[in-house]
A and B are shown apart, each in its own frame.
Chain A
Amino acid sequence: MIKHIYAIMKKEFIHLIRDPRSLIISIFLPVILLFIYGYSVSFDVRNIPLAILDDSKTAQSRQLIDKFVHTGYFTIVEELRSGTQFHDALDSGRAKVVINIPSDFAKNIQRNKKVAIQVLLDGSDPIAASSALSYINGIAQQYFSGLLVAKGANPINLVSRIWYNENLRSLNFYIPGLISSILMMLAATLTSLTIVSEKEQGTMEALIASPIRKNELMIGKILPYVIIAFWDVIFVTVIGRYWFLVPIKGSITLMLFCSCIFLTGALAIGLLFSTIAKTSQEAMQLALLTTMLPSILLSGMVFPIENMPRVIQLVTYLVPARYFLRIMRGIFLKGVGISYLWGDIIPLTIFSMILMWLCIRAFKKRID
């Protein structure tokens, strides 16, 4: 049994070595994808272009404006002279936010009267707009509570602390998710050609005519790719840690162990399509379609599963990336150990085992 598996494995490795282009692609594609996604999905909004109309022109108003600039979230791109320029600033896209400090600003502060500041936001980019709005609220609140303290009042002091991702850095949240989505896609496509291409080349006939067992063939086919995909895990993790500076608080050994379980399942998906499909094109497309969208949209990588309609939530239980993503975030950000991750490790293991079993079942040692 082991000797048969070894013979198949060795042959698969030779195929890989003789085709260095595919080998390089399969090793570096995930790294490239991680870079592309890593830079494009950043939802942290910094240097928002801000246009200001300061009708007050007082020490107080300048103090407020300084606060905006100092946070680093805003950059003043334009000082407006009148309210008629608001439209132009936003329409042209020069500014995403316009702030108007009214002429009675300083006077009202001194008289302890209600102070109003006008804020106009470019809502065509809702993510940037809502981040900007919450920054503005925060800055304004800080400014006014500072004023109150200066006057001897005692405002309510809300002491909030965020755990796990202290700076709410979105990359810390996305990179572990990205790693699991990329691995899912890559693994399924890696194996999607292994069986079907042998059928197309006619070499399958000799394999079928040999006494090799189905399970030996399937295990021998999948193992070399587990090893390659395992290297991919290491590469992307290193890049996530040292390039994107995502902290890894938990056990790396545990992460690699869980990766193996996950990869086996993902590779088995590709192998299954390779067994069922009639052409390599069909196998590749099936593997990509069934892994790419679900692992991005339904895994909780971008959109929280809790916000999805009930039916879709149920569907997410069938997406292996969902479990792996939770494991990855747990290990990366929370640093939790295996005792907190059982709930995801067990379904993931069951998934991989069922898929492997399906592959062996689906393969027929016959010519059709």
Chain B
Amino acid sequence: MTKTSISVKDLTKRFGDFTAVNKIDFEIKQGEIFGFLGPNGAGKTTTIRMLCGLLDPTSGKAVVGGYDISSQQEEIKKIIGYMSQKFSLYDDLTVSENIDFFAGIYQTKKVTRQQKKQEIIEISELFGKENVLTGELASALKQHLALGCALINDPQIIFLDEPTAGVDPLARKKFWGIIKNLAGRGVTVLVTTHYMDEAENCDRIALISDGIVIACDSVEDLKRKYMKGILFEVECDNVMKALEVLRNVPAFQEVALYGLYVHVVVDRESDADIIKKALASKNINVKKIATVTPSLEDVFVSLVEEQQGKKEASGRK
């Protein structure tokens, strides 16, 4: 289980003046669920496309399943499964015809083809819907089918680009069940998402912003290592006003809106008093204030701000 499945070194992609992916490094082990977390436009899709042999990198190196992404793209395509961000099955083909088509172009063995088809229909929970036109399926089922078709060649590695975008929470949970099941069978999974809660399902995640990997670790380690200071959750009246007031206090590392609460990162536990005082001075009634374990979102916000601070600092030099 310690075999390296994907290794990426200094991988860079430029489109004209725009650097979409900037010297990223990471390694993924076999059977791992590796999450790419970041906002839209951070470079997640570009990275996946390079790893799948759909885009040539500008510089850097990456090896996927033992094949080089700059010279052995067609070899890579045989051993991977890829589910693109945009639905890429044929709407005017039935479920069964779509599966047959992909089985045909991946040239799976005829003896196992029927069995494989049953397996895919089972995975995608499309039993009884084999002859329905794909375009008429609900979006969650479409995603299931897309995943099923990406598994047609029993890939060693599967790339899922925003697989749960636009799918309801219950269906998302089911989807992650399938992904975990795959990883349990030794399939390496690289999945991108911008849902923070989903990322908690991953063994390890890479946080990406502006084409740079700003952190890469397991969820727990990320929370522990990268969250310097203590996180207070403040429940109060007039949250927007409170946010503004607290942001003006220079002692705080970070102030962010978190649902109906304000999250404040401070250096010491005793800083709670400063929060209370600051809000009291503006006549904002504090209902509750307590330390909480940071969520991935807190870590992400904190890291991105740190990154941008660094950028500005180096810009000023």
Interface size range on B against A: 20 to 34
Which residues of chain A are near B90, meaning CB under 8 Å?
A: 11, 15, 203
Q: A6-B104, A207-B105, A211-B74 are in contact. List 20 more A-B contacts (CB 8 A).
A: A4-B105, A4-B107, A7-B103, A7-B104, A10-B101, A11-B90, A11-B101, A18-B92, A202-B88, A203-B89, A205-B88, A206-B82, A206-B88, A206-B89, A206-B102, A206-B149, A209-B80, A210-B102, A366-B55, A366-B56
Residues of chain B contacted by A367 (CB below 8 angstroms): 49, 54-55
Contacts of A208 in B (CB 8 A): 54
Interface string of B72-94 (1 = CB under 8 A from A): 01100110101010111111110
C-alpha spacing A15/B135, complex, angstroms: 13
Q: Is A127 an interface residue (CB 8 A)?
A: no
Q: Which B residues are CB-close (under 8 A) to A19?
A: 92
A205 CB to nearest chain B CB (Å): 4
**A14 sits at the interface (CB 8 A):** yes
The interface of chain B, by Cβ under 8 A from chain A, is: 49, 52-56, 73-74, 77-78, 80, 82, 84, 86-93, 97, 100-107, 149
**A365 contact set on B, CB distance < 8 A:** 53-54, 73-74
Given A10-B101, A202-B88, A367-B55, A210:B106 Cβ within 8 A: yes
> B107 — which chain A residues lie within 8 A by C-beta?
3-4
Kindly list chain A residues whose C-beta atoms are within 8 Å of the C-beta of B92: 14-15, 18-19
| Interface size range on A against B | 20 to 34
19 A–B contacts, CB within 8 A, in A order: A7-B103, A7-B104, A10-B101, A10-B104, A11-B93, A11-B101, A14-B92, A15-B90, A15-B92, A18-B92, A202-B88, A205-B84, A205-B86, A205-B88, A206-B82, A206-B88, A206-B149, A210-B105, A211-B78
Q: Answer whether residue A8 sits at the interface, using C-beta atoms and an 8 A cutoff.
A: yes
Q: A365 to B100: give the CA distance in the assembly, Å.
A: 22
The answer to whether B54 and A211 have CB atoms under 8 Å apart is no
Provide the residues of chain B in CB contact with A204, threshold 8 Å.
88
Contacting residues, chain B, for A203 (C-beta < 8 A) = 88-90
Instruction: Please report the C-alpha to C-alpha distance between residue A213 and residue B261 in the assembled complex, in whole angstroms.
Output: 55
Q: 1/0 per position for A48-65, CB-CB distance to B under 8 A?
A: 000000000000000000
Pick the contact of A212 from B54, B82, B105 — CB < 8 Å? Answer: B105
CB distance from B151 to the nearest CB of A (A): 13
Q: Which residues of B contact A205 (CB under 8 A)?
A: 54, 84, 86, 88
- Counting chain B CB atoms within 10 Å of each CB, the highest count among A3, A6, A15, A209 belongs to A209
Kindly state the separation between the CA atoms of A13 and B78 in the bound complex, as whole angstroms.
26
Give A173-215 as 1s and 0s: 1 = Cβ < 8 Å from B's Cβ atoms: 0000000000000000000000000000111111111111000
Determine the chain A residues whose CB is within 8 A of the CB of B77 once the complex forms.
209-211
**Looking across the interface, which residue of chain B has its beta carbon closest to that of A9?**
B104
CB neighbours (8 Å) of B102 from chain A are 206, 210
